[in-house]
Amino acid sequence: MKNAAIYCRVSTEDQAREGYSLGEQLEKLKDLCKFRNYNIYRVYEDAGISAKDMDHRPEFKKMLEDVKNKKVNVIVSYKLDKLKKSKKKKKN
């Protein structure tokens, strides 16, 4: 069985624009882990924090440390941009 890290993050802009909360993300991710038969090792939540700077995301850093120490085999997140801020391409 795989040990899963559930990572939830929402910036205040995300929540205002898209309307999903940490609780809603967590509920869906727990359901996914159950469906995939993943053991939930730990839930990591960074609330009200932008993804552009990893230095200010304490739970994200803890999660990476647990991955490094082989406590976690898989990371489950609501959207890929919860892990890392994507750079928008400039239009010419």
Catalytic positions, please? 11
> Tell me, what's the pLDDT at 1?
87
> Tell me, what's the pLDDT at 13?
65
Amino acid at site 3: N
Of residues 13 and 39, the one with the higher pLDDT is: 39
Q: Is the CATH number of domain 3-82 3.40.50.1390? A: yes
Domain positions in the chain are 3-82
Pairing of strands 3-10, 74-77: parallel
Strands, sheet with 39-47, edge to edge from the N-terminal-most edge strand: 39-47, 3-10, 74-77
> Tell me, what's the pLDDT at 78?
85
> Tell me, what's the pLDDT at 31?
97
- Say whether pLDDT at 3 is over 60: yes
The tens digit of pLDDT for each residue in 18-66 reads 667 888 889 999 999 999 999 999 999 988 777 676 778 899 999 999 9
> Tell me, what's the pLDDT at 92?
47
